């Protein structure tokens, strides 16, 4: 077959997929201001996505912050720049690693569970049952999850940024011999409002994408246990890739000036 | 009145319905029989708009409902008149039994206070032969037959005008099947609801059907009053009643 045809077909398929996801997202978000509202489902999603993700967020970021401090110290030593550890840890965590790592952990933890849950509902006709009970699945299942993930992710990433910096601080002070007060002062003086704003904006975007992918692939699940497995896998892969791509785009928007 | 005219449906290469035409008058109870896998469930789903027919028209009380779009007020009004028991029960496994039954009463336009909704749910559970002990269990903690009855209670909870039952007695013991047959009979006669039931169980057919329709090969082979079923002369119906391996309905499909 012609190479151009293959490429063309792939591009068309991708554009069609982007179109479907966009329509899916617009449909869900369009229910925002329209009753009936499902506050219970929203509250449940907040707790599931936000509160129960705290341990994994804390563990991920504290180790990363610590490792980052060690690396920067070792790398910096080559051109006697060991002193920049606090600043680079702060910037690295807040601008990039905090949002990206928390985003990927949420893709692993939240996207997978949303996709598996909704796909199972689809396969066992629970989605059909919802419709016959006059309940719109986009309003009842998708919107609460997407909205909850979008509002709770900045909070998770904020916590992750702080814990990551703390990980760097612990390593810096305990292992590398930094003065505790100086370390903290350097961190705080160096961080700018834009760093924090970019971090939290990324967080909201990643939360939106993670939950959206879970719902989208769940709703489109094929039949049987195999369908659920495929839906979950596709959702996690799509969420992870989209988060990394969105991270690049947002970094470009915020910092390329 | 529910009217289907020349409804076609295929899933890829798998043609399921090839021109189904059927009329069910208001307040009547129709039973659809036919071999498994002939598309009986798909037929009900077409009426509800859960499956989009490829061709043909479906109308309810004279209004064409074939192409109602999800989320429009017309579609909401249409669905509000329906109750459906799914073949696999399709209970929401994240909600306890009573919240499944009272689902419509806890949200949306039919919302009632929680305590009242719970009372209604427990009353409906009793009607399908379940005690109030099961109200706070989760669907996964129930046997298949109990799940089916919870699904039934959910379908009738808001006393809809039109109710579809997809294999209501499959998986029940004969005594409980009798209870459910009486219940379905009662729903049609007391509440005046229009009922469409799928079943393989001939005792069920005799207990609840005003009218019988035989689906085979994607089409309605015979339809008529239940009283004429035994003498209709249709080979599919005769084979189905006799439970015989010989006849137009293949044993390998
Ligand atoms: N959502 C679907 N996607 C693809 N095929 C389907 C779907 N639903 C039903 N079918 C197919 O339609 C046929 C009829 O199914 P069904 O209506 O469930 O049979 P039954 O008469 O036993 O209720 C089967 O071959 C089934 O595989
Ligand atoms: Mg069926």
Q: For residues B80 and B78, what is the distance between their CA atoms, to the nearest angstrom?
A: 6
Q: φ, ψ for residue B129 (rounded to 5)?
A: 80, 25
* Per-residue pLDDT, B179: 86
Among B50, B79, B154, the residue with its CB nearest the CB of A134 is B79
**Both structure tokens of A12:** 């068309």
| Contact status of B90 with chain A (Cβ, < 8 Å) | yes
Q: What is the pLDDT of residues A234-252, one digit of tens each?
A: 999 999 999 999 999 999 9
Average pLDDT over residues A171-198: 95
Q: Which residues pair with A59 in a beta bridge?
A: none
Number of H helices, E strands in chain B: 8, 10
| Contact status of B86 with chain A (Cβ, < 8 Å) | yes
With bands split at pLDDT 50, 70 and 90, how would you rate the model's confidence at B154?
A: very high
Contact criterion met (CB < 8 Å) for B45 and A131 = no
Q: Which residues contact A233 (CB under 8 A, 6 or more apart)?
A: none
Average pLDDT over residues A95-120: 97
With bands split at pLDDT 50, 70 and 90, how would you rate the model's confidence at B126?
A: very high
Q: State whether the beta carbon of B45 lies less than 6 angstroms from ligand 1.
A: no
Mean of the per-residue pLDDT values of chain B = 91
Helix (H) or strand (E) holding B121: helix B114-127
Find the angle CA(B220)-CA(B226)-CA(B232) to the nearest 5 degrees.
65
* HEC readout, A184-216: HHHHHHHCCHHHHHHHHHHHHHHHHHHHHHHHH
Q: Are B9 and B17 a contacting pair, CB within 8 Å?
A: yes
Helices (H), A50-178: 54-77, 85-91, 98-106, 112-123, 126-132, 137, 143-174
Query: What is the fold of B1-81+162-168+192-253?
Result: Rossmann fold (3.40.50)
Q: Are A210 and A101 a contacting pair, CB within 8 Å?
A: no
Among A124, A130, A138, the residue with its CB nearest the CB of B88 is A124
For A68, B76, B118, B218, the CA distances from B153, given in Å and listed in that order, are 59, 21, 13, 31
* Per-residue pLDDT, B72: 82
Q: Where are the domains of chain B?
A: 1-81+162-168+192-253, 84-159
Q: Which residues contact A243 (CB under 8 A, 6 or more apart)?
A: A100, A103, A104, A107, A206, A209, A210
Q: φ, ψ for residue A178 (rounded to 5)?
A: -75, 150
């Amino acid at each position: 077959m012609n190479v151009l045809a293959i490429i063309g077909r792939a591009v068309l398929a991708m554009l069609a997929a982007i179109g479907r996801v966009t329509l899916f997202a617009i449909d869900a978000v369009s229910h925002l201001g329209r009753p009936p509202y499902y506050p219970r489902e929203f509250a449940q999603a907040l707790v599931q996505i936000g509160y129960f993700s705290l341990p994994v967020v804390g563990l991920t970021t504290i180790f990363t912050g610590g490792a980052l401090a060690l690396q920067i110290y070792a790398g910096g030593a080559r051109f006697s720049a060991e002193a920049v550890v606090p600043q680079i840890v702060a910037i690295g965590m807040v601008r990039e690693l905090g949002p990206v790592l928390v985003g990927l952990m949420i893709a692993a933890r939240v996207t997978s569970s949303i996709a598996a849950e909704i796909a199972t509902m689809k396969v066992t006709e629970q989605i059909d049952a919802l419709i016959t009970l006059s309940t719109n699945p986009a309003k009842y299942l998708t919107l609460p999850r997407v909205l909850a993930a979008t509002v709770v992710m900045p909070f998770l990433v904020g916590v992750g940024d702080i814990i990551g910096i703390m990980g760097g601080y612990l390593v810096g002070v305990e292992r590398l011999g930094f003065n505790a007060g100086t370390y903290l002062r350097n961190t705080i003086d160096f961080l700018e409002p834009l760093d924090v704003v970019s971090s939290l904006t990324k967080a909201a975007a990643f939360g939106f994408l993670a939950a959206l992918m879970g719902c989208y692939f769940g709703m489109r699940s094929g039949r049987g246990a195999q369908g659920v497995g495929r839906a979950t896998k596709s959702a996690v892969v799509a969420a992870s890739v989209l988060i990394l791509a969105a991270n690049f785009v947002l970094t470009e928007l915020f910092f390329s000036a | 009145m529910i009217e289907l005219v020349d409804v076609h449906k295929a899933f890829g290469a798998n043609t399921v319905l090839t021109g189904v035409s059927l009329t069910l008058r208001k307040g009547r109870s129709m039973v659809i029989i036919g071999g498994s896998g002939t598309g009986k469930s798909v037929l009900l789903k077409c009426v509800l708009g859960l499956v989009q027919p490829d061709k043909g028209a479906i109308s309810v009380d004279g209004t064409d409902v074939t192409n109602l779009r999800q989320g429009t007020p017309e579609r909401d009004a249409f669905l509000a008149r329906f109750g459906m028991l799914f073949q696999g029960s399709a209970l929401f496994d994240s909600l306890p039994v009573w919240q499944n039954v009272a689902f419509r009463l806890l949200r949306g336009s039919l919302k009632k206070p929680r305590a009242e909704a719970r009372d209604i749910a427990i009353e409906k559970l009793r009607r399908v032969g379940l005690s109030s002990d099961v109200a706070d269990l989760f669907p996964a903690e129930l046997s298949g037959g109990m799940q089916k009855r919870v699904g039934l209670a959910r379908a009738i909870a808001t006393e809809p005008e039109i109710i579809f039952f997809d294999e209501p007695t499959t998986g029940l013991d004969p005594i409980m099947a009798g209870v459910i047959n009486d219940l379905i009979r009662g729903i049609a006669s007391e509440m005046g609801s229009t009922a469409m039931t799928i079943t393989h169980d001939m005792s069920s057919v005799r207990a609840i059907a005003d009218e019988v329709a035989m689906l085979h090969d994607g089409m309605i082979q015979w339809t008529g009053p239940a009283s004429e079923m035994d003498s209709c002369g249709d080979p599919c119906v005769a084979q189905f009643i006799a439970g015989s391996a010989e006849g137009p309905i293949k044993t390998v499909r």
